[in-house]
Structure 1
Amino acid sequence: MTMGSELRDQYRDRLPTFKRLEEEVRFSVEAALRNRHIKVHAIQSRVKTLDSFIEKVERKEYADAFNDVPDIVGIRIVCLFLSDLRKIGDALRDVFEVTSEENKIENEDVASFGYMSIHYICQLGDANSGPRYNSIKDLQFEVQVRTIVMDAWANVSHHLDYKGEASIPRQLRRDFHALSGLFYVADQHFELFVREAADAERDAIRDVANENLDDVDLNVETLTAYLRARYPDRNSTTKMVMSEFVEALALTGFKTIGSLDAAMREAEPISLAFEKDRSERNKNYRLTAVGMVNVGIRQLYPEYSENRRRIQSERVGRDKHDQ
């Protein structure tokens, strides 16, 4: 039997174990990100195929194939922002034993071909102990972390089929590097935007508390701050719902928090009466902060309901298109 045949037989024998490791690692990664409230675009996992495994062993001339190939099981986390890279790295170190780390973002040229990511070689941590984990406890696996922009560049450059600088026709190199720079700038500006959004949220809380409400523009951040201040004991809602709410209010003619506040003096009794009527049939019924505005404004401004339906319909249409 040739060495290649032996490796193939060993791989097939161990494949169920690799699959188990993939499942455990993916479960732990998803739980760690969820517990830390880190939103990500995608989590992908795979066990390296037999042909890919054999090709790597032969190309690298590994003597101890199953110990020398650290990425037989691989996880890729595609996050949203550059600042998430550090948060995810901290989460991985808390959950797993990280044996090595390679930063192919800071250490690579901006025009590198598809490998802009951070690679962690890991093993299961102390929390994964007991008979259930005996067969996979000491196995290595790789976790790659990159932003959604880096992932897009990796996919685009991969499909261009240029594997390096020498492969690109001279007349295309300038455009190629310009494209690479655009992806880099996009990542930086997404990060800048998310930081400025956090600043806008803090500014909105200050403005609603301290300034003339007629001077405070209506937007998601200022409306959220206003509702928290006016109805601190009522539940809030998601940012997506709040955004649709703002769009419908703007179409109805509300441009400032002051104009909405003035309307709420008349609308709030309508909302409270609606809530009281519903609570007589269901004692647990209670309007959210958005509901307080929504019910009253709907009665006072008939065009608002149509505007709200229009905004929601547009969102449903986009969702169906994206599926």
Structure 2
Amino acid sequence: MNQGRTLTPDELKARAIRFYARYGKDMEQISDLLNIRLSQLAQAYTLENTLPQEAITITTRVKSLGSFLKKLERRGWPQFYYPTEVIKDLIGARVVCWFVDDCRGMQQFINGSKHLTIHNEVEDYIDQPKTSGYRSIHLLADVGYDQVQRKGREVEIQDGSMVCEIQLRTMLQDAWGQITHEFHYKAKTAGVNNQFYERILSEIASRLSNEDNSLLTLRDAYQDLADEQLKHPPHEGIKGTE
């Protein structure tokens, strides 16, 4: 954090541009590394729980410089030395699961990873949805990587680390989030605040949450029926001769 005078928006913008110029390639590589780490955890989880690999999908991205500057502007240009001091999702990952309990299971796998250092603060919007109805679990993780440093003509490899945001949600929650992002999030950032429409959005999200729970109940019921069927397979005797 800058300890001297307060920087102007133009100075903060210049600082952000320098950061992206210096660390842009690093962030892309960290994003790829995070994708690999999470994909490995998803593979382990699906194998342990006898799920198809497509039951959990992983995507990662690096926030563009333009999006970062817009976010700074919306927040009133908070002071920073490194952008990650004020914006934690420069690198973001999304873990989309078929069922709610898989979100919890993957959260445990992520917490147990030796390659990710998970921060203590957790934003659980599945247990406590936002007023708009938004549901997701947000984690912050420090991802270690090999940082290349130039010192004159010499090149050194040092231990580097950057904070990333990991979101976990169900497919229905993800669909709601992606669909509403285009009109709801953009309207909110423009200063629109309509309580009537907010309530409708929240009700839609609640219905989808109920369907998530219904699908979970149906899955367990079908699994119980299948297990019972395996205990008592159809009798395949030899027909007698007359």
For Structure 1 versus Structure 2, the TM-score category normalised by the shorter chain is: 0.7 to 0.9
**TM-score w.r.t. length of structure 1:** 0.56
Q: Give the counterpart of 2:204 among 157, 172, 179.
A: 179
Match of residue 142 from structure 2: 123
Task: Report the residue type matching 1:88 in the other structure.
Answer: M
Q: What is the percentage of aligned positions where both structures have the same residue?
A: 19
Match of residue 143 from structure 1: 166
The answer to whether the Cα contact below 8 Å between 2:146 and 2:159 also exists between their aligned partners in 1 is: no
Superposed CA offset, 1:228-274 (max 9, x none): xxxxxxxxxxxxxxxxxxxxxxxxxxxxxx5xx46xx69xxxxxxxx
Following superposition of structure 1 onto structure 2, how do residues 80-229 of structure 1 map, counting pairs within 5 Å?
Answer: 80-95=98-113, 96-99=116-119, 100-109=121-130, 112-113=132-133, 115-124=134-143, 137-161=160-184, 163=188, 166-167=193-194, 170=196, 176-208=201-233, 213=234
Task: Tell me how far 1:149 sits from its aligned partner.
Answer: 0.8
Bigger fraction of residues in strand: 2
Residue aligned with 2:94, SS? strand
Runs of 4+ in 1 over 6 A off after TM superposition: 128-131
Task: Tell me how far 1:10 sits from its aligned partner.
Answer: 2.0
**TM-score w.r.t. length of structure 2:** 0.73
Superposed CA offset, 1:180-205 (max 9, x none): 33211111111111211221222112
* Count of matched residue positions in the alignment of Structure 1 and Structure 2: 206
Find the aligned partners of 1:173 and 1:121 in 2 and give their Cα distance: 28
* 1:78 lines up with 2:96 in the alignment: yes
Q: Give the counterpart of 2:28 among 19, 39, 42.
A: 19
Task: Tell me how far 1:177 sits from its aligned partner.
Answer: 4.6
Task: Tell me how far 1:41 sits from its aligned partner.
Answer: 4.5
Bigger fraction of residues in helix: 1
Task: Report the residue type matching 1:145 in the other structure.
Answer: L
Task: Tell me how far 1:206 sits from its aligned partner.
Answer: 2.0
Q: Which ranges in structure 2 are unaligned for 5 or more consecutive residues?
A: 1-9, 149-156
Residue aligned with 1:85, SS? helix
Task: Report the residue type matching 1:143 in the other structure.
Answer: I
Sort the Cα spacing of 1:135 and 1:47 in 2 relative to 1 into closer, same or farther, 3 A. farther
Find the aligned partners of 2:73 and 2:96 in 1 and give their Cα distance: 30
* 1:50 lines up with 2:65 in the alignment: yes
Find the aligned partners of 2:68 and 2:147 in 1 and give their Cα distance: 29
Residue aligned with 2:139, SS? strand
The answer to whether the Cα contact below 8 Å between 1:120 and 1:142 also exists between their aligned partners in 2 is: yes
Residue aligned with 1:36, SS? helix
Task: Tell me how far 1:156 sits from its aligned partner.
Answer: 2.7
Task: Report the residue type matching 1:59 in the other structure.
Answer: R
Sort the Cα spacing of 1:192 and 1:77 in 2 relative to 1 into closer, same or farther, 3 A. same
The answer to whether the Cα contact below 8 Å between 1:98 and 1:121 also exists between their aligned partners in 2 is: yes
Task: Tell me how far 1:165 sits from its aligned partner.
Answer: 9.5
Find the aligned partners of 2:214 and 2:28 in 1 and give their Cα distance: 39
Match of residue 253 from structure 1: none
Match of residue 64 from structure 1: 81
Task: Tell me how far 1:63 sits from its aligned partner.
Answer: 2.1
The answer to whether the Cα contact below 8 Å between 1:121 and 1:143 also exists between their aligned partners in 2 is: yes
Which of the two has higher C-alpha Rg?
1
The answer to whether the Cα contact below 8 Å between 2:132 and 2:199 also exists between their aligned partners in 1 is: no
Q: Which ranges in structure 1 are unaligned for 5 or more consecutive residues?
A: 214-257, 267-323
Q: Which has the higher contact order (CA 8 A, sep 6+)?
A: 2
Residue aligned with 2:162, SS? coil
